[in-house]
């Protein structure tokens, strides 16, 4: 895998690893649920909600990669850039830049 030195350099690769709209859909579902749990955390400061946010976000994303896209999640190589990429792609889906239905 190529070495990326910035998020802007990494993001086109990130998007290319989410070619199938159903992979994007699994990410969107997981990120939506993780946002719900992050809100719950900030309302209650119950640390378990952070765990639930991570499990739901990564769980749905990894299902998309392993069973739909059939590739290795970039999280394993670029965890920080991938985390940012999830939320950027989420916003772009909301803006209609990526089709998931």
pTM of the model: 0.93
Where do the domains of the chain lie? 20-94
pLDDT single digits (tens) 52-64: 999 999 999 999 9
When pLDDT is averaged across residues 26-34 and rounded to a whole number, the result is 98
**pLDDT for res 1:** 64
Query: Angle at CA 75, nearest 5°, toward 2 and 25?
Result: 110
Spatial separation of the C-alpha atoms in residues 31 and 37, rounded to whole Å: 10
Contact present, 12 and 74 (Cβ < 8 Å): no
Write the pLDDT tens digit of every residue in 39-54.
999 999 999 999 999 9
């Amino acid at each position: 895998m190529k070495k990326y030195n910035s998020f802007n350099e990494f993001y086109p690769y990130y998007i290319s690893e989410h070619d199938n709209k159903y992979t994007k859909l699994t990410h969107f579902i997981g990120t939506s649920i993780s946002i719900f749990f992050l809100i719950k955390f900030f309302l209650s400061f119950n640390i378990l909600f952070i765990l639930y946010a991570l499990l739901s976000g990564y769980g749905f994303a990894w299902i998309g990669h392993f069973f739909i896209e059939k590739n290795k999640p970039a999280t394993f190589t670029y965890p920080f850039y991938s985390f940012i990429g999830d939320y950027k792609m989420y916003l772009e889906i909301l803006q209609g830049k990526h089709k998931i239905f």
